[in-house]
Amino acid sequence: MKISDSIKPICFALLSAFLYAISAPASKLFLSYIPPTMMAAFLYLGAGIGLSFVVLLQKIFGFSSNEKPLTKKDFPYTAAMVILDIAAPICLMIGLSKTTAANASLLNNFEIASTSLIAFFIFKETITKRTWIAIVLVTISSIILSFEDISSFSFSYGSAFILLACVIWGLENNCSKVLSSKNPIEIVIIKGLLSGFGSLIIALIIGEHFTKFILISGAVFLGFLSYGLSTFYYIYAQRTLGAAKTSTYCSLSPFISVVFSLIIFREMPKLSFFAALIIMAIGTYFLSTQK
C-alpha cells in the first residue's frame, strides 16, 4: 500500500472531526439572528441539499456505487429516524441558545452514553466493561456541566435541552443501526431533506420568521459542512480504517469544538468546566481505545 493511500483515510477522519467541531460555536453565532427551530431546519437542509449535489457530481464524473438502496421494508425505521432527527436538533439549538458553546460541545458526548444505554436496555446489546466505565465518566462529566453553579446547585436549562437532544439522537442511532447495510449517503440525504423541511414547517407554525438571505445561506452552508460533508468523509474513512479507528479520530471533535468556542467567545470557564473536561477526556479515551 502506498503511503498516500494509508494517510488519506486518516485525513478524511480528522477532516470529519474538524468539520463537525465547528458546528456548535458557529451555530451559537447564528442563533443571535436566527430562531432555534429554523436554525435546526437550515442545518439539516444544508446537509441534504449539499450531499445531493455530491451524489450528482459523482454520477457526472462516473463514480459508481454498489450500495444497497432503501426498500419498503425499511420504511418504519426510516420514518422513526426522520421524526427523531426533527426533534433532536431543535432541542440542541434551544439548549445552545441558553448555554455556552464550550459547555454544549462537551455535553454532546453524552450521545455516546445514551446510545449505548438504549442499545443495552431496549435492543439487548452487550456492553463491555470499558464502555461501562466510559458511560459512567461521561455521565458524571455531564452532570457537572449541567449545573451553572455547583455550590448552589443552580441547574442549567440549556444543558437539559442538550442532554435531551443527546438521548433522542441515541435512540435515532439505534434505529440507524438497522439500516447500516444500506447506502449511508442516501440515508443522510433523506434525513437532511425530510427532517429539515419538517423542522421548517414547525418553525413557521410556532411563529418563527425568516431572516436575511445571507444568514440563511450561511446556516445552510454550515449544515452542509458540519452535518453533510462531515458524514461523507466519515463514511469513506470508516471503509478503510474500520469503525473503531475512525471513531477514535472523530472522538477529538468535541475537544476541538471546545477550543474553537473558547477562542471565539473568549469566555473563561469555571473550574468545574475543566474538571468535567478532564473526566470527559478520560471517558472518551476508554471508549475510543476499546477493541
Does the residue 2 lie in any domain?
Answer: no
Between CA 184 and CA 168 the distance in angstroms is: 20
Between CA 137 and CA 17 the distance in angstroms is: 22
Please give the tally of structural domains in the chain.
1
One-letter amino acid of 154: S
Between CA 9 and CA 246 the distance in angstroms is: 9
- Compute the Cα dihedral for 263, 26, 277, 242 and give only its sign: negative
The mean per-residue pLDDT over the stretch 41-45 comes to: 97
Q: Do 119 and 174 form a contact (C-beta atoms < 8 A)?
A: yes
Does the residue 3 lie in any domain?
Answer: no
Between CA 260 and CA 268 the distance in angstroms is: 13
pTM: 0.91
124 three-class SS: coil
Residue 71 has phi, psi (to 5 degrees) of -125, 175
Furthest CA-CA distance within the chain: 62
pLDDT tens digits, one per residue of 202-249: 999 999 998 899 999 999 999 999 999 998 898 888 878 876 677 778
Given this model, what pLDDT does residue 151 score? 54
Given this model, what pLDDT does residue 97 score? 94
Q: 83 pLDDT band (50/70/90 cuts)? A: very high
Does the residue 18 lie in any domain?
Answer: no
Between CA 218 and CA 96 the distance in angstroms is: 18
Between CA 274 and CA 236 the distance in angstroms is: 34
Domain assignment of residue 141, given as a range:
30-213+267-288
- What does the mean pLDDT of the chain come to? 90
Burial degree of 220 (CB within 10 A; 0-12, 13-18, 19+): buried
Length of the chain equals: 291
Does the residue 175 lie in any domain?
Answer: yes
Given this model, what pLDDT does residue 152 score? 47
Given this model, what pLDDT does residue 123 score? 86
pLDDT tens digits, one per residue of 255-288: 999 999 999 998 888 888 999 999 999 998 888 7
Does the residue 260 lie in any domain?
Answer: no
Given this model, what pLDDT does residue 150 score? 56
Between CA 282 and CA 134 the distance in angstroms is: 8
Residue 72 falls in which region: left (phi positive, over 0), alpha (psi -120 to 50) or beta: alpha
Does the residue 22 lie in any domain?
Answer: no
Percent of the chain clearing pLDDT 70 (strictly above): 95
Between CA 141 and CA 125 the distance in angstroms is: 24
Within 8 A by CB and 6+ apart from 3, the residues are none
SS3 content of the chain, % helix, strand, coil (to 5): 80, 0, 20
Does the residue 275 lie in any domain?
Answer: yes
Cα-based torsion angle of the residue sequence 231, 96, 103, 262 in order, rounded to the nearest 10 degrees:
80
Does the residue 19 lie in any domain?
Answer: no
All cell numbers assigned to 229:
460533508
Paired residues of 183 in beta bridges: none
pLDDT tens digits, one per residue of 137-176: 999 999 999 886 655 456 788 999 999 999 999 999 888 8
Burial degree of 135 (CB within 10 A; 0-12, 13-18, 19+): buried
